[in-house]
Amino acid sequence: MHRLSQIVLFLLMVNCVYAQKSPHESNLKVDCAECHTIENWKVNSKAITFNHNKTTKFKLDGQHKQINCKMCHETLKFCDTKGKDECVSCHTDMHNQTLGSDCASCHNTSTWIVSDIKGLHQKTRFPLVGSHAVALCRDCHKSGTELRFDPLGVECVDCHKSNYLSTTSPNHITSGYSTECAECHSQGSATWTASNFVHNFFPLTAGHANLSCSECHGDGKYSKVPSDCFYCHEFDYNRTTSPNHVQQNYSQNCTECHTTGPSWLTVEYREHDSKNFPIYRGKHKGEWDKCTDCHTTGDITTFSCTNCHEHNKISMNLTHAGKSGYEYKSSSCYSCHPDGSKHD
């Protein structure tokens, strides 16, 4: 009988409510019993059967499952939620709009702590690589301690202008260096080593491959440096005695004899065949190891065939018997055999 009385009382209360204006307004299409009990209108949070996740478009997960309804719904008009699905409608934007209003792009509902800042940064217009990957946020975002992360320029010089201006070895300003740092430097490197610089105008190969910049650019200037060998190797030219380049008036065009190999002993005077005597073709190809094999005095203008052919003197005299003007000496050999062939 008592239970029946309670039911009757509840029905009377409901009728009473509908007879009056609902504090939730008429557009709330939810059964009162999902939140209220028949004992009174006081809401028992443990007895609520209203499913926010199924009934509304805003899923309660993470920390949102623990909060009181009134923390989001400040009045009893639960349907008045325009804009309430945006984080900033409840949470103060600590970043002052420097990161936009989509908090969920960095945070989740469980905690405000961002666990993968680098991963998030990789999706921006400035992915973090090299030294940037281990740099502190405040190293670039000077207002980061205030939780402001204002957008920065993505050009190197936007952050590294002071490095450009203060560098003295080499001096970037006096040398007229470009402010496009990536032309020489790689942001993937942990140092300022100019690993990206393309030296195509003078290929750095063989003996030039592992030189430091200062070995050629000793004056600290990196523009308008002559590309001819003699500009850098005048000292080598002057001190060479075997053969003596100065006395013999050797060409200062080093490439006529030398390659860019790591040793000056790499001699390939290919014009020897066309201008003088064939040593890269014909019978004498590969028959010498160094210039002094033929030029025994060190004088490139003189040479001696008989140094090599002396053991054949008797047979050569017999072979040339009756030959007009024959004489066993170098000048005679060369006058008849200018190309070193047998039947010149």
Nearest to 62 by CA among 112, 16, 111, 102: 111
By three-state DSSP, how is residue 43 classified?
strand
Average pLDDT over residues 119-143: 85
Task: State the pLDDT confidence band at 8, using cuts at 50, 70 and 90.
Answer: very low
Render pLDDT for 210-261 as a digit per residue (tens, 0 to 9): 777 777 777 666 666 778 888 888 998 999 887 788 888 888 888 888 888 7
Which residue(s) pair with 244 in the sheet?
A: 241
Nearest to 263 by CA among 206, 203, 216: 206
Render pLDDT for 277-286 as a digit per residue (tens, 0 to 9): 888 887 888 7
Which residue(s) pair with 195 in the sheet?
A: none
Identify the residue with better confidence: 51 or 145: 51
pTM, rounded to two decimals? 0.49
Q: Which residue pairs from 171-176 have beta carbons closer than 8 angstroms and sit at least 24 positions apart in sequence? A: 171/220, 174/220, 174/221, 175/220, 175/221, 175/222, 175/223, 176/223
Render pLDDT for 296-333 as a digit per residue (tens, 0 to 9): 776 777 777 777 776 677 777 887 887 777 777 776 77
Q: What percent of the chain has pLDDT over 70?
A: 87
In sequence order, which residues have a C-beta less than 8 Å from that of residue 289 and are 6 or more positions away?
Answer: none
CA gap 329, 201 in Å, rounded: 49
